[in-house]
Amino acid sequence: QVQLVESGGDLVQAGGSLRLSCVASVRMFGFNAIGWYRLPPGKQRELVAVASSNGVTNYADSVKGRFTISTDYAKNTMYLQMNSLKPEDTAVYYCNSVVRGLDYWGKGTLVTVSS
């Protein structure tokens, strides 16, 4: 069983930056993939960024060049650095991990970007 806890969500003005964190309850070595997803108000959940164990990283077109996913294995933590935030980035952000074929999710952290 893997538990994930996100933090870092906040209210920020357009053009600002935030860094989201997600702490895993177990060592992240061996995770098949880690990722960030978001649920905008009134919309469906969407992929933001994902990094697989083979080093491949993918981003949604809407965040390319602005968001960066990273990990600190020593701290069992993954991050999402978000720059040049836009009002359309407003959403609940969830971290996800795939471990031995099973999906694990955090409870989410709210990011609100004001115009």
What pLDDT digit, counting tens, does each position of 33-89 carry?
999 999 999 999 999 999 998 889 999 999 999 999 999 999 999 999 999 999 999
pLDDT band at 27 (very low <50, low <70, confident <90, very high): confident
Average pLDDT, rounded, for the chain: 95
- Which tokens is 17 given? 């930056």
3-class DSSP state of 87: helix
Residue 30, CA atoms < 13 Å, CB-side half-sphere: 8
For range 21-38, the mean pLDDT: 92
> Residue 106: how many CA atoms within 13 Å on its side-chain side?
27
Quote the pLDDT of residue 29.
80
